[in-house]
Structure 1
Amino acid sequence: MRTPAAGGDALLALDPAYRSAFTAAPLAMAVVAPDGLVVGANATLARLLGAPRPDTLAGRVAADLVDLAADPRTWQAYREVLRGRQAVLRCTRRLKHPDGHSLWAQVTVTPLTGGEQGVLLSVADISARRELQARLRHLQMHDPVTRLPNRSLFFERLTTALETALTSDVGTGRVGLCYLDLDGFKAINDTLGHRVGDRLLAAVAERLTRCADEAGYNRTGVPLVARLGGDEFALLVEDSAGTEQLADLAEAVLTALQAPFDLSGQRLSVSASIGVVERHAEGTTATGLMQAADTTLYWAKADGKSRWTLFDPERNAHRMTRQALVSTLRPGIEREEFVLQYQPLVGMSDGRLRGVEALVRWDHPQFGMLSPNRFVGLAEEDGSIVPLGRWILRTACRQARRWQLDHPGEPPLFVSVNVAVRQVWDSDLVSDVARILAECELDPGLLQLELTESALMGSAGRPIKALQALSDMGVRIAIDDFGTGYSNLAYLSRLPVSVLKLDGSFVRGFQYEDGAGSGAGAAGEGGRSAPNAADEVIVEAMVQLAHRLGLSVTAEGVETAAQAARLRRIGCDTGQGWLYSRPVPPDDIVALLTQDAPVL
């Protein structure tokens, strides 16, 4: 054993009081020479390290006593302190005691003062503190009701799983997730109380844990089961083998939850909806995976509950597009991204242009020109149909007035505008119409408002009063897509309606001319298809009924001259469809308005 040189004199030369304090100090300490050997140690360090006496530590390599060479960074920092190039080193080490138990120690190395060479090594036993921290972390990271990992620990494990899958050379490099929500749990909580609800959650957690254990049998790892909050749970599969493994796990969970729960004499039944996501870790984040799982769980709920649903990228892309449209609807109205096109309404008797229907399009900066079926439903859901409908009404009335002023020699065209029932409820439609007609100086008789049959039939109160006030003003009210809704004919006579627009599905039945049928679609004598004949009977009956009630009839979806001829024969008043024109910009309507010949 080497006898320490430099630094040893410093220890011996200490004032007796200081040397006594060093020897008896409750903090474990040692003086270490510049070459890294222990010069002297106190009794506390000897007890901490399990040495029989302090002097048995003299001449030992200090770094070996407290494991400072375990990692390169700590070893380098320790050497810098020994050389006087660094002021202090602090690190935590797990030390093995000779009796077999381990302890956590905080090691501090500082240079000696007073011009002496060497360093002072101090070691503090922090095992109790670490144990307390571990207990606190366990409480912080686990749910007190189910004792499962909570959301914080789940995200920590998920993030680690993704990082491991990306960096590891073994395994599949994939992760899977079953995200589930109990169906009907809120009703149990509300009716039986939170105590029963908590016992049910704990029982569900036990069954999920058994499912995870069984799923992990003969595999590399057991899925992590966590309670994310409320009645939401998650099962994380690290290094997953594919969607089939996740599907089997989801099926096992549904089966496990089917059996009733017996809780203190109460027999309860619950089911679960599960969103399943399985994918490669590359390009995936913890947040992105959870968003996909949450979306898929919503699909499972929407599809009927008590089932699992696998994430579908195409379905998700549609949802994302829908969300993008929702978020840009109101700004799009403010930026005037919408345009109107007009489809002619043609008199069946003479083929002359009588009016137009205003059809809105959205010239979206990202998705291009969008038809109404892409955004009108969304606008009705979030209420933006009110400002959008007001803009459509004003724009259409201005255009109708402009045609009237620019072509005084032609009969004025009426303009037909679709109105959502929410516009009647959420705005003062009567005042809006009156104000817009006055602004545009348009005769009320040149405005027609269309509402769907389902919106009108069975309505009462404010909508009917509003429509009656509009009708009294001179505005024409039309029922759109007539024949597809309630068809409450008795109620029809009491509505302030002047026009019925027959749904195009009836007109499509007029596919063949008499005697001209051929192929699989024709049947019966003379080539006449029986279903077509039935459609004609229905349409003729509706036209006669409308006329008896003093209403005019517009047929939608007219595409062929044969259809137009049949509609003309049974007395239909006006027609609308591609036979006459597709929806076109305002300038194209001018060409139809001024031509000498009929539209068809």
Structure 2
Amino acid sequence: MTSRESVEDPRLQLLVDGVVRLAAGDLDARIQPSKHRDDIDAVITGVNLLAEELGHIHADLEQRVAARTAMLRRTQVELEQMAKTDALTGLANRTLLTERIHGAILSSTDGGKAPAVLLLDLDSFKAINDILGHSAGDAVLVEVAKRLRSAVREQDTVARLGGDEFAILITEASEEEVLRIAHRASEYLQDSMCIGIETVWAMASIGVCIGKRGDRAEALMRDADIAMYQAKARGRNNVQLFQPEMLDAVQERSRITAELRTAVTGGELALVYQPVVELASGRVIGVEALIRWHHPVRGTIMPGSFIGIAEETGLIFELGRWVLHEGLAQMRRWSQTDPDLTDFCLHINLSAAELLRTDLLEDIRDTLANYGLDPRRLILEITETVLMSRETVQEQVLSGLRELGVGLQIDDFGTGYSSISYLRSLPADTVKVDQSLIKDMESDPRQQKFVSAILQLIFAAGLNATVEGIETAEQAAQLEAMGCLYGQGYFYGYPGPATEIPDQLRRPARRL
């Protein structure tokens, strides 16, 4: 074959076309060899073999890509599942619960029943964690999850929102069915749990919100949460159904909170002082500082209406600091205007939260020094429940206060634990017996014996007693006869402004 014949051979054009098709991705392209079996046919055969190999490689690659894609999809599903599942209990988490609430709401707009939400908070979980440790706490949470699953229907969703807080979404159920499930969940949590060698209980306060068409998921969760806190306020371990007036109460508390934030800087707070007397002589030996809020619209608000809110919101730190500074500043003013009145003490209530103030000791020490007051003239009244359940930080603060020379008094004795075993070890000088214990003392001989026994117990622990709420001369005489040294109540004086205190201190002792 001549050179010119080779160039003009039609197989060459077929070969070029085949290579172009292969290059374009057509791996099924093939070139038919001729009968010549020459060099051109050899090249054609080689190109066909290469195309065959490329086809196998491409098929294998596609198979691998398909397998990898399937694996990635499975992983994505697993990650999405993990992102919507509580790792400890396997329950739905807040994200998944919210999605399902939204879905249930959409279904209700198409003619179905509106969903209901239950919110649960374990009543004693912190104590379990603190005493037995976090591993035991985790085991309790797993068991609670198991019991809640068994209390609901298959189509309902049980979720763990975090910590010891759980939620249940109930769909397509009547109010009666919803409450039945709620009470069943409460009942299932009544039984004790065996955690290792320990037996514990993990009962719950449950709030129930039954939705209406058009409700938002956020509103359902909010109202269930409000109902749950009502359950806690009503003694814990019970079920409360949300009522609209509960929201009104929460909104009122929110308004009080917002207004309380400006009360200190706005000059709306004031202190009044109630005498503490020596029963035998009737002599005033001290005054208790009591806070009042003079609201520009609501009038005078008593502390029972806002101290609890202040403790919940952290405003108690600011209020406590203000009471301390104002009370000690008034002591300084009295010493300047009436220098002969120096033998009485100032009593100030200290909340449990304030014992956790990192600057409490420093603040008290510096304020006393700033006003030139003897620390022994300041007595801090602390509830017995705080003193009995104190933790390390509180222990250190109480020890620091005693080293400073400040007096400590157990407040409201008889309304809390009143543990005899703790009484001897309490870091206090005196005990203030709650007024509820002497309410029927005049007419009930058994109550007289009971109060006498309590006083003897206090004396045996090496402590002095102050009884509050004395309203009659007979009560005062009975308490003095029982050996009680000090008293406080309307019989000796109502809480009044600072200007009245010097006259009360100079007034002749009120003898019985």
Under a length normalisation based on structure 2, what TM-score does the superposition of the two structures give? 0.60
Distance 1:158 1:488 in 2: 52
The residue number in structure 2 matching 1:396 is 327
Q: Does the alignment pair 1:506 with 2:421?
A: no
Shift of 1:390: 1.8
Q: Does the alignment pair 1:530 with 2:468?
A: no
The residue number in structure 2 matching 1:580 is 492
Q: Does the alignment pair 1:372 with 2:372?
A: no
Shift of 1:234: 4.0
Shift of 1:507: 2.4
**Number of paired residues?**
394
The residue number in structure 2 matching 1:418 is 349
The residue number in structure 2 matching 1:321 is 252
Q: Secondary structure at the match of 1:423?
A: helix
Q: Which has the larger radius of gyration?
A: 1
Question: What is the identity percentage for the equivalent residue pairs of Structure 1 and Structure 2?
Answer: 33
Q: Does the alignment pair 1:435 with 2:366?
A: yes
Alignment of 1:236-315 (within 5 A): 245-251=174-180, 276-277=208-209, 288=219, 291-296=222-227, 309-315=240-246
Q: 1:356 aligns with which of 287, 300, 308?
A: 287
Q: 2:116 aligns with which of 155, 165, 178?
A: 178
Distance 1:421 1:182 in 2: 26
Distance 2:153 2:245 in 1: 33
Alignment of 1:435-514 (within 5 A): 435-457=366-388, 459=390, 461-487=392-418, 492-493=423-424, 495-512=426-443
Q: Does the alignment pair 1:541 with 2:476?
A: no
8 Å contact kept, 1:179–1:293: yes
Q: Secondary structure at the match of 1:568?
A: helix
Q: Specify the code of the residue in structure 1 equivalent to 2:480.
A: R
8 Å contact kept, 2:289–2:347: yes
Q: Specify the code of the residue in structure 2 equivalent to 1:511.
A: E
The residue number in structure 2 matching 1:83 is none
8 Å contact kept, 1:183–1:305: no
Distance 2:152 2:487 in 1: 67
Q: Residues 290, 590 of structure 1: CA spacing in aligned structure 2 closer, same or farther, 3 A cutoff? A: same
Q: Residues 325, 159 of structure 1: CA spacing in aligned structure 2 closer, same or farther, 3 A cutoff? A: farther
Cα RMSD, aligned residues only: 5.2
Shift of 1:249: 4.8
Shift of 1:153: 8.3
Q: 1:405 aligns with which of 336, 346, 355?
A: 336
Alignment of 1:43-58 (within 5 A): none
Bigger proportion of residues as strand: 1
Shift of 1:396: 0.7
Distance 2:107 2:376 in 1: 70
The residue number in structure 1 matching 2:471 is 559
Distance 1:419 1:398 in 2: 17
The residue number in structure 1 matching 2:480 is 568
Distance 1:205 1:378 in 2: 35
Shift of 1:560: 0.9
Shift of 1:338: 2.7
8 Å contact kept, 1:386–1:426: yes
Structure possessing the higher relative contact order (Cα contacts under 8 Å, 6 or more residues apart): 2
Q: Specify the code of the residue in structure 1 equivalent to 2:300.
A: M
Distance 1:554 1:179 in 2: 49
Map Cα deviations across residues 113-168 of structure 1 (whole Å, 9 max, x no partner).
xxxxxxxxxxxxxxxxxxxxxxxxxx9xxx9999xx98568648748968x99xxx
The residue number in structure 2 matching 1:87 is none
Q: Secondary structure at the match of 2:492?
A: coil
What 5-or-longer segments of structure 2 have no aligned partner? 1-76, 86-90, 123-134, 189-202
8 Å contact kept, 2:455–2:465: no
Q: Residues 349, 309 of structure 1: CA spacing in aligned structure 2 closer, same or farther, 3 A cutoff? A: closer
Shift of 1:247: 1.8
Q: Specify the code of the residue in structure 2 equivalent to 1:534.
A: K
Bigger proportion of residues as helix: 2
Shift of 1:288: 4.3
Q: Specify the code of the residue in structure 1 equivalent to 2:283.
A: R
Distance 1:433 1:372 in 2: 22
Q: Secondary structure at the match of 2:276?
A: strand
Q: Secondary structure at the match of 1:295?
A: helix
Distance 2:414 2:238 in 1: 37
Q: Does the alignment pair 1:343 with 2:277?
A: no
Under a length normalisation based on structure 1, what TM-score does the superposition of the two structures give? 0.52
Shift of 1:565: 1.0
Distance 2:186 2:341 in 1: 74
